[in-house]
Amino acid sequence: MSHRLPEHPDWLWRTPDPRRSYDVVIVGAGGHGLATAYYLARNHGITNVAVLERGWLAGGNMARNTTIIRSNYLCEESAALYEHSLKLWEVLPQELEYDFLFSQRGVLNLAHTLQDVREGTRRVNANRLGGVDAEWLDTDQVREFCPIVNTSPEVRYPVLGATLQPRAGIAKHDHVAWALARKADEYGVDLIQGCEVTGFLRDGDRVVGVRTSRGPIGAGRVALAAAGHSSVLADLAGLRLPVQSHPLQALVSELLEPVHPTVVMSNHVHVYVSQAHKGELVMGAGVDSYNGYGQRGSFHQIEHQMAAALELFPIFGRAHVLRTWGGIVDVTPDASPIIGPTPVENLYLNCGWGTGGFKATPASGWVYAHTIATGEPHPLNAPFALERFTTGALIDEHGAAAVAH
């Protein structure tokens, strides 16, 4: 009997058929959708909830990101939101009873020019005033903290220093999704995969449900959490969003011995690199300039980010690329997310996280659940309303967010 496969382990969540209606229907079972369902149940006692997923659970950007978690944003509205998120990351493994390998190994944001140094020191000061841990390291301290970074003055863009957020780090993205899904399921939330939303049920100006590939489903409130496809869904409700969808690519090397003790990001030569627990080097960089939904981008982006990685880490010269992939990120004009009600009654919006949504997963769920449950934004997401594009109160993180978008 040695040829028999072992029994399949217990599933972490049920696979229910959709009921006729729910109090809340969340569209998108990625990290944000699952966190929203979890906090709707945990914080607000709302458990008559379905999370509808076109593909499979956490198969979109939740499976494609580079798992970096940090809160060292310049604008105070952003820092507050991402710091709330980081505090939740610190308690979630215990709360969800699932070790998703959250590792607070720190994040370095390298400075290669005088402008980078000024931006970095300014951000460190802003972070400290806002209660976010932040330090400025000079070149020698960078070498001490991460010995494999090339700190030679001979390179094209020498490392002049770096910001360090010690509490930042990485987590295992798939396990985060599974941990949230399991707990949401335990609360009674229906996670329904292979169920594409194709339209909205309306009663006058109000949304009262969704049309899906598995039939109509009534809903007291409908909450979008569809990342790169937010525009497509909003269009079905007659809404135009200030969002453009772009391909964002990442890659991994084969498995290597542990060599990289932290996370290194560089705006100027433009790459970010960490080493996953299993051993692969994980690298990402910028979006492709053009709009796209194809979950793949142009080769020169990969070439550019690998050139940047080799400039910073000569030790990676003989590593091989194992695989590259792309996801679709929804970018707003000010590079900040949109979380809140929409002009359509009972329809809520959570989108525009661009290149940095993974780190926000818990806080996004926390404030979105509050918004859906009460009909009013949480103080942390009030500044991130859709109206800011009309009032002009933008939260301009382009170039301020410690990453080039």
Partner 1 sequence: MLLIACPWCGERDELEFHYGGQAHVAHPADPEALSDGEWAEYLFVRDNPKGPFAERWSHAAGCRRWFSVVRHTVTHRILAVQSNHPTAADGTKPVTA
Contact residues: partner 1, CB under 8 A? 229, 231-232, 240-245, 289-294, 298-300, 333, 389-391
Least separation, in Å, of the C-beta of 291 and partner 1?
Answer: 5
Least separation, in Å, of the C-beta of 181 and partner 1?
Answer: 26
Least separation, in Å, of the C-beta of 290 and partner 1?
Answer: 5
CA 142 – CA 34 distance, rounded (Å): 37
Nearer to partner 1, 169 or 228 (CB): 228
CB 247 within 8 A of CB 292: yes
CA 377 – CA 241 distance, rounded (Å): 19
Least separation, in Å, of the C-beta of 391 and partner 1?
Answer: 7
Least separation, in Å, of the C-beta of 60 and partner 1?
Answer: 14
What separation in angstroms does the CA of 241 have from each of 143, 198, 291, 383?
A: 44, 18, 14, 17
What separation in angstroms does the CA of 30 have from each of 108, 191, 227, 391?
A: 27, 11, 9, 31
Amino acid at 53: E
Nearer to partner 1, 2 or 391 (CB): 391
The torsion region of residue 101 among left (phi > 0), alpha (psi -120 to 50) and beta comes to left
Contacts 24+ apart (CB under 8 A), 298-303: 298/247, 301/249, 302/249, 302/251
Least separation, in Å, of the C-beta of 201 and partner 1?
Answer: 22
Least separation, in Å, of the C-beta of 329 and partner 1?
Answer: 12
What separation in angstroms does the CA of 34 have from each of 99, 196, 254, 265?
A: 17, 16, 30, 28
Least separation, in Å, of the C-beta of 79 and partner 1?
Answer: 24
Nearer to partner 1, 8 or 240 (CB): 240
Both tokens assigned to 398? 């382009």
Nearer to partner 1, 99 or 290 (CB): 290
Work out the number of other CB atoms within 10 angstroms of the CB of residue 188: 12
Work out the number of other CB atoms within 10 angstroms of the CB of residue 128: 12
What separation in angstroms does the CA of 381 have from each of 161, 339, 384?
A: 33, 6, 5
The SS3 call for residue 239 is: coil
